[in-house]
Chains A and B, each alone.
Chain A
Amino acid sequence: MSARDEIFASIRRSLAVGPVDAPRRDAVAARLAQAPVGIVPRRGQGEAAERLATFRSEAERVQTTVAEVAAAAAVPAKIAGYLRENNLPATLRFGDDNRLADMPWGATALEIARGPSEGDDLNAVSAAFAAVAETGTLALVSGPDNPTTLNFLPDNHFVVLFAEDLVADMESVFAKLRLACGSGALPRTVNFITGPSRSADIEQTLLLGAHGPRRLHVMVVKGRS
């Protein structure tokens, strides 16, 4: 008997069930197919404006900074301005996401690099798949558009969030993922990010920038890109 066989046998023995039990199988199949939603807090709900206000309030609670821009085209200048104001080098890396690539980077003096990070980048920008108002959380998805390494290796992480992608709760993000990827399938990585990296392991002192980014700056694009 393989380890797998023994473990399954042990589970079934403990539960006093057999391997062929239609009601049980039906119950499991039903739950997997329907993925019932449980209790969703009121906190993230509401119309777009209310959701945005909640998102900002929750994100700022965890040291994310949030700026609103009228259009996607304003993003490069906003980023350049932020870097200047914080005395940071004018360098920036991003992936293949067209929504980012189509922005007017040439109008800034930013030195742009493309593709995944190898660890030497100070600043990177990603476009979020979605965001959760309830907790001020960003959802980012792996792939050539927004490489996962950009979420973790650079010191400063900029995230462009299109306002129509800001949903109330995590369940709504899962629904979006189901639509995008098909039922029961996900990309290699989905990151739900709530604030800059932190640790409290040194005498419970809260410190930002443990291994991931020290700064997380979200730019919410209000108009359509």
Chain B
Amino acid sequence: MSVASTTPRFKDNVHDALNDQRLQGALPHARNFIGRRADAAARLPEFDALRDSARAIKDHTLAHLDLYLEAYERKVVEAGGHVHYARDSDEAVAIILGVCKARDARVVTKGKSMVSEEIGLNAALEREGIVAVETDLGEYVIQLRGEAPSHIIAPAIHVTRDDIEADFRRLHRDLPPDRDLSRPEQLLGEARAILRDRFLSADVGLTGANFLVAETGTSIIVTNEGNGDLTQTLPKVHIVLASLEKITPTLNDVAQILRVLGRSATGQDMSVYTTLSTGPRRAGDPDGPEEYHVVLLDNGRSATLGGPFAEMLRCIRCGACMNHCPVYHAVGGHAYGWVYPGPMGAVLTPLLIGVAEGGQLPNASTFCGRCEAVCPMRIPLPKLMRRWREREFERRLSPPLARAGLRLWAFFAKRPALYRLAVEPTMRALGLIGRRRGRFAWLPLAGGWTRGRDFAAPQGATFQSRWRAKSGAVK
């Protein structure tokens, strides 16, 4: 059972988000990524060609995923690691709990992992009396607040500096209450000191993986803080939790994709730490974990391969799509109601939790196309959202009134003569009614529009009727 969603009440979430003044004040930060990405892309002449190269590598990999998985597993075992397979969230949680319990683990430090959100890992650990400590600063902040991430790269983008100070004061109770926390550096310093203790005392460190390399049996994380590294180097056990599609054939293939990942995400040519981990510590190593476990999660990926939504498996979780999305900018990530927000969330969510529960998201798009324009892996996000709409239409999942309205329009659109008969008098009448003000403050069935906007009145007779009158006959 994947973690629960509030996606069916998306419109209510939107309403709440739009009326949340604090959130609205924090949301503009997401726009900062736009200029940074553009600058980074402009500075590298080969950027667009690299996107095509990255796409080709992923397509090839997905078409041979079974074989690369076999190769990857062989290499991990050769290096002294363990590979576990989880069909769904419950299995993944059970495997991780098993590894933790076998070592009597009390504290698990975590690097940022969206897949761990997907399976609801933290709650499961807590239920078993194991303390899960998020160490990515943004994840730590939202863990203190009991919130989920609202962005896949910058999980606390919705939180203000004031919020963070208030939470630190509330929860870091052993520190002097009169300490100065007015500057961000002070907040960072406090988090660093507190988390440093956690790093050093953790029994198990769990990270995600940006790549799982078949050539060498290596897991790769891409971070800026160094928390992922401390998480996976200091404890005795390192668990890597990753979904199947992270498999990448070779290190040289990774180098291709890395060149578009950081630039697309934050505008960085390289993140500060790109770390390759292969198996546990070797004989003679003075540091490193004694055990290395990789938990591979399916949870819907294998069923997506080769199907109409397979292109979504190319996603490298850079966040560029949501950084450029007008819907995301308006309401932030929590409104989407599940783990993955923005355009990639709109396509992925119905895949992972079903279209009945997740179907609102692909509908809540204007198809402006900015997401597709910036996706480093050239995923045709609007097309895939439209495909979800087709599924919903076939299954009659769209709201009946909207469906009826569109069917009515299509009925007339297929019959030009009837169309003319219907629209001519209607537009003349509306034109007459609206003549005085030039616009309507309200129209039946268009409340969604007219609540906040006026609706222009038609000019009266239609173009085609005037054209016919002018030039005699329509061809």
A→B interface (CB under 8 Å):
2-4, 6-8, 10-12, 14-17, 19, 24-25, 27-28, 31-32, 35-39, 41-43, 58, 62, 95, 115-116, 118-119, 135-137, 142-144, 147-149, 151-153, 169-171, 174, 177, 184-205, 207, 209-213
Report Cα–Cα, A142/B161, bound state, in Å: 37
A116 touches B286 (CB 8 A): yes
Do residues B44 and A43 form an inter-chain contact, with CB atoms below 8 A? yes
Most central of A136, A153, A201 by chain B CB within 10 Å: A201
Q: Can you identify 21 A-B contacts, CB atoms within 8 angstroms? A: A7-B302, A8-B66, A10-B302, A14-B305, A31-B249, A36-B250, A36-B252, A39-B53, A116-B287, A147-B285, A151-B229, A171-B252, A186-B276, A188-B282, A189-B288, A190-B276, A192-B270, A194-B274, A202-B161, A203-B161, A209-B192
Q: Does B345 contact A (CB under 8 A)?
A: no
Name the A residues within 8 Å of B63 (CB-CB). 15
Which of A153, A204, A209 lies in contact with B188, CB distance below 8 A?
A209
Q: Are B49 and A35 in contact (CB under 8 A)?
A: no
Add 9 more A-B contacts to A3-B85, A7-B244, A32-B215 (CB < 8 A).
A38-B252, A41-B46, A135-B269, A177-B251, A185-B216, A188-B285, A194-B273, A201-B136, A210-B224
Residues on the A chain within 8 Å of B67, using CB? 24-25, 28
Smallest beta-carbon distance A5→chain B, Å:
9
- How far is it, in angstroms, between the C-alpha of A207 and the C-alpha of B164 when the chains are bound? 15
Distance of B382 from chain A, by nearest CB (Å): 24
Q: How far is the CA of A6 from the CA of B86 in the complex (A)?
A: 10
Asked if B320 is at the interface of the complex by the 8 Å CB criterion, the answer is no
Contacts of A115 in B (CB 8 A): 286
> Which residue in chain A gives the minimum CB-CB distance to B52?
A39
> For B160, B184, B200, B227, which residue has the most chain A Cβ atoms within 10 angstroms?
B184
Which residues of chain B have C-beta atoms less than 8 A from A17's C-beta? 66
Which 6 pairs across A and B sit closest by C-beta, in order of nearness? A212-B226, A210-B225, A201-B138, A10-B302, A14-B305, A192-B274
Q: Could you tell me the distance between the alpha carbons of A135 and B269 in the complex, rounded to whole angstroms? A: 7
B199 contacts across to A, CB distance below 8 A? 119, 211
How many cross-chain pairs have Cβ atoms below 8 Å apart between A and B? Answer: 258
A188 touches which of B252, B256, B280 (Cβ 8 Å): B280
Query: Is there contact, CB below 8 Å, between B286 and A202?
Result: no
Contact between chains at B188 and A199 (CB < 8 Å) = yes
Q: How far is the CA of A225 from the CA of B46 in the complex (A)?
A: 37
**What separation, in Å, do the CA atoms of A4 and B72 have in the docked complex?**
13
**CB pair A193 B272 closer than 8 Å:** yes
A43 surroundings in chain B (CB, below 8 A): 44
A110 to chain B, nearest CB (A): 21
Could you say which residues of chain A place their CB within 8 Å of the CB of B307?
Answer: 14
Task: Check A143 against B285 for contact (C-beta < 8 Å).
Answer: yes
User: A152 touching B229 by the CB < 8 A rule?
Assistant: yes
If A41-B46, A201-B141, A210-B227 touch, whether A189 touches B233 (CB-CB below 8 Å) is yes
Complex contact A38–B269 (CB within 8 A)? no
Are B276 and A32 within 8 A (Cβ)? no
Q: Cα distance A58–B199 when bound, in Å?
A: 31
The residue in chain A whose Cβ has the minimal distance to the Cβ of B57 is A38
Partner of B272, one of A14, A142, A196: A196
B198-233 interface code vs A (CB 8 A; 1 in, 0 out): 011000000000000011101000001111011001
Q: How far is the CB of B376 from chain A (nearest CB, A)?
A: 13
Bound state CA distance, A66 and B78, in angstroms?
39
Q: Would you give the shortest CB distance from B65 to chain A, in whole angstroms? A: 5
When C-beta atoms are compared, the residue in chain B nearest to A195 turns out to be B272
Partner of B225, one of A144, A186, A197: A197
- Per the bound structure, the CA–CA distance linking A172 and B259 in Å amounts to 15
- Contact partners of B215 in chain A: CB under 8 A: 32, 35, 184
B270 touches A137 (CB 8 A): yes
**Residues of chain A lying within 8 A (CB to CB) of residue B244:** 7, 11
Mark out the residues of chain B between 161 and 214 whose CB falls within 8 Å of any chain A CB in the assembled complex.
161, 164, 184-185, 187-188, 192, 195-196, 199-200, 214
